[in-house]
Amino acid sequence: MPSSRDVVFVDGVRTPFGRSGPKGMYAETRADDLVVRVIRELLRRNPGLPPERVDEVAVAATTQIGDQGLTIGRSAAVLAGLPKSVPGYAIDRMCAGAMTAVTTVAGGIAFGAYDVAIAGGVEHMGRHPMGEGVDPNPRFLAERLVDGSALVMGMTAENLHDRYPGVSRERADAYAVISQERAAKAYADGKIQPDLVEMATRSADRGWGLATADEAPRPGTTLAALGALKTPFRPHGRVTAGNASGINDGATGCLVAAADVAAELGLSARMRLVSYAFAGVDPEVMGVGPIPSTERALRLAGLGIGDIGLFEINEAFAVQVLVFLDHFGIADDDPRVNPYGGAIAYGHPLASSGVRLMTQLAREFGEHPEVRYGLTTMCVGMGMGGTVVWENLGWEGK
């Protein structure tokens, strides 16, 4: 029986995230081509890695049809020019797809089945809207297994506001302004650009273009502007387009390796995977999922919330982040939480977002050698949460 090995995050990249729809920059770009671009960039940035040493390619997509189908991990690996000997597969855990791709290959590395793997995710929500082609079993409602709102993410966020009345619309809007401000500052300070890969785009009307930055951020967003937005999921509700993530297109990917193999190949490991956990919650309030998954991941790591110096929380909805912060006694504007801003600004192309969180955390670790531990966490459709605890390999206490 092989002994467990340390698993490290070597590098992560992503395409700029686009707005979904006919006017979005990826409207006429294939989803699998977004993944191919990410894989090629990972190999270009890490020349010490012979392509044949990649043992697995795991790519997540929530809607696995069309150009997000055909076992996208394998098809994208072939299209990216990896040797045909490199296998691949597709994975689905809705919003936590890329996160699950990382934890799944990490388990294989720890066990000894792999040395190096590529993991990531893609979502082209313009081509494949969330829920496209699904056929929910009527027993969900007929047997009252879930409330009808469980299948509409915005309604689950309104349910969360109901359950936690201390999180008002005004508070959610104020958090959204913080996210936009931090994202704008991160761009201005050059924090985001190093991990973006330029992506060619095409349009029958506009010709060829080049995507070099995220399309969704709205710098200069004000509380007054957010307060004027409609509440599409409920009359006089609290969830708006301004305090929630958008509908987006994009792909992410990262290199994960055994610590000893990374050293052998001269790959610079940036953080070590300490623990991870997934948890289920009532689907009607799926936004609380990160609370039990974080509690479990911390318990497995032998850590407490006070040991965590940086948090990357996916901002599917502001209310979901605020409920998490309240539970753990963290202030709404705590500088340790999403210091570069989050999905309210950048967007949330479902299955791809988990690796965006990891890539930003790795970058933040590099700026904060005084911080030893950080975590990435997110809520997941159908009532789940996922959390990964990481150790900063640049920690000055080592």
Respond yes or no: is residue 128 known to be catalytic.
no
Respond yes or no: is residue 254 known to be catalytic.
no
Q: What is the DSSP-derived secondary structure letter of residue 19? A: E
- Please name which of 159, 78, 118, 391 lies closest in space to residue 252, comparing C-alpha atoms: 118
Residue linked to tokens 């989803």: 31
Exactly one of 124, 128, 254, 379 is catalytic; name it: 379
The CB density around residue 307, as the number of other CB atoms within 10 Å, is 15
pLDDT in tens, 355-369: 999 999 999 999 999
**Cα-to-chain-centroid distance, residue 311:** 13
Which pLDDT score is estimated for 2?
A: 54
Residue ranges, the chain, pLDDT below 70: 1-3, 398
Which pLDDT score is estimated for 286?
A: 96
Exactly one of 95, 128, 161, 254 is catalytic; name it: 95
Distance CA 107, CA 299 (A): 18
Instruction: For the chain, list the domains and their CATH numbers.
Output: 7-128+246-389 (3.40.47.10)
The three-point CA angle 359-267-254 to 5° equals 30
Contact 381, 134 (CB under 8 A): no
Which pLDDT score is estimated for 3?
A: 67
Type of residue found at 230: K
Upper half-sphere CA count for residue 323 (Cβ side, 13 Å): 27
